[in-house]
Structure 1
């Protein structure tokens, strides 16, 4: 099951921006087979929120009338990320988000990270285990996050907001490349070995099509990685302005960004709850716009212009 090689298990995951309609059609086709060794055939779609409406419609018939011993599992951040027609045909199972302490325990035990660093990473990642691992083990990831918050707190003018947006885009691009560059090189080296091409050797014309297909997949993965990097930046900004709002409303709650508590207090005094709420709304809108293929630079500029703080 863990290796995804069980004959009664079908798993669809993607490293692209969206799940293609052809991939769903193939999974629907295999879902019609009877289980061979188990009691049920289980079909899993990871990141089901990445299906477009047209792709989701291909799945509807299979969900309405699945074979008697076929079970579908759709994974998504929330049920609201799926189409209403999909939601009406499934049962919602909500998974509990682990606490900061639980994530810190895992990072400390698995990655041998000192407890204070593990707790800070878990808190700043808001219990996202993968992101907590990166923050706890990568100096570059911590520096990029710190720079994101520093830029947002330092904006004093519209021109400054535009410049900050350009730098945030560079931060997201660097983050995406850090995640994909090493893996891309490993995949290319493995592909060349499987094709019998020596390192540094010339690729025969008849084999170039296979390498081109690999490069196209890597480009699609890079696009998704950049989108995910931009979303991580916006989530970090959400945590920042959430902390500022709590300070403005005098709510007794531990901030996500506890390490910059003094700067949160200064930012809270320099603005009003109404302006902070408007900034939070702008960030939520930017996340939707980027997923809708709006130019990332424009979306980030709109957020940071809304966040302009005047002395």
Structure 2
């Protein structure tokens, strides 16, 4: 299927493109007064696994709604939505582990204004599964009583009640997205990013359909090294000492990621805040500003700490996704399947583990990884969650 305009950003999502194209056309009918616009609704929930492009789809849809040509990809509206400067498109991205009720109340208040461009006020909430209970209730009220010109675009991994409340889900049109096939991901890397064919196809398979991760693996040597270190772990889990060491290594790498981001962002953010409060200025009144800045500085430090925690958890989750792919490959080898392996470049380690375990053991191992991801989501200390996982993945004695 040949796709042009803003929806060309969606990789391997033909069905979703059809739905969104029809909805954006219906939205144009509503604006122009030329039709009933029955294919358009005021609240959408984009669901799909990591890498399926939930937020990409939401932003592309926002471009199509604001564009007078239904998402040409070239006009001022399409450009400003894409770069995040459109006055009528508001994006909520959690910096920490959750989205607070204060953030949602403020964004709902702003979204109730009449759109400056005369079309739509659009709220995009990435990671809507991170809404606190209070935030979810505040959002529910806005979705239940929407302004005629307001559209809510929510993104979440699944429609499970633990991710998105049933009351919110029932008031949204759910649009499921799928994991893009490796060939489609490779084509994007080649055509859009200029990556050579061999590297693009390797990265697409290794990233298991995640477009952003595939690009990092194809272009970032550190990302390649981190992946290689994670995939070397299963064959090493032959003793309790090795298991605990592996857990420490995984957590240490995630902490290093968080520290690197903190080194890059924290000090400039603090300096910018202090300057905005008058620090370093001269003249009447400038001396009082820094003395009254304790609350603002404390709030910034809270956000920075929450961001560091999220970066650490996201790094650990990437590692667990790689481990899931590894054990899936071991299961395929064990079954003698001819399905392509995600981590074929680690065939030796895969064969080594396959020779030491049973299919039942592999299924329990995959369950253990799922349990570890859930533990991290419920704020179990990373070292405790990872130590429990690696000891559970210890290879049976031969």
Q: In the TM superposition, what is the alpha-carbon distance from 1:303 to its structure 2 partner? A: 1.3
Structure 1, gaps ≥5 residues long: 199-203
Name 2:203's counterpart in structure 1.
Answer: 121
Shift of 1:139: 1.6
- 1:5 Cα deviation (Å)? 3.3
Q: Give the C-alpha shift of residue 33 in structure 1.
A: 2.5
CA–CA separation in structure 1 for the residues paired with 2:270 and 2:187: 36
Q: Deviations over 1:197-216 (max 9, x none)?
A: 59xxxxx9448645554443
Q: Which residue of 1 aligns with 2:176?
A: 94
Equivalent in the alignment of 1:133: 215
Aligned residue-pair number: 306
Segment drifting more, 114-123 vs 271-280: 114-123
1:59 positional shift: 1.3
2:156 to 48, 62, 76: 76
Task: Give the TM-score, by structure 2 length.
Answer: 0.70
**Cα shift at 1:54:** 2.9
In structure 2, C-alpha distance between the alignment counterparts of 1:268 and 1:162, rounded to whole Å: 22
1:53 maps to 2:53: no
TM-score computed with the length of structure 1 as normaliser:
0.88
CA distance in 1, matches of 2:263, 2:185: 27
Q: What does residue range 268-287 of structure 1 map to in structure 2 within 5 Å?
A: 268-287=354-373
Deviations 1:42-92 (A, max 9, x none): 221111111123321221121222122321110112222212222122110
CA 1:33–1:208: 2 relative to 1, 3 Å: closer
Q: Is contact 2:231-2:346 (8 Å) kept?
A: no
SS in 2 for 1:73: strand
Q: Which residue of 2 aligns with 1:201?
A: none
1:183-206 per-residue CA deviation (whole Å, 9 max, x = no partner) reads 4455456557766759xxxxx944
- Partners of 2:343 and 2:167 in 1: CA distance: 39
1:106 paired residue number: 188
Return 293-302 or 108-117, whichever deviates more: 108-117
3-state SS, counterpart of residue 82 of structure 2: coil
102, 120, 143: which one aligns with 1:40: 120
Which aligned pairs between 1:136-147 and structure 2 lie closer than 5 A?
136-147=218-229
Q: Tell me the equivalent position of 1:302.
A: 388
- Can you list the C-alpha shifts for 1:255-301, whole angstroms capped at 9, x where unaligned? 11010113212211210111111011011011111110111111111
For the Cα contact (< 8 Å) 2:244–2:387, is it kept in 1? yes
What is the rounded CA distance, in whole Å, between the counterparts of 1:104 and 1:134 in structure 2? Answer: 13
Matched, 1:231 2:231: no
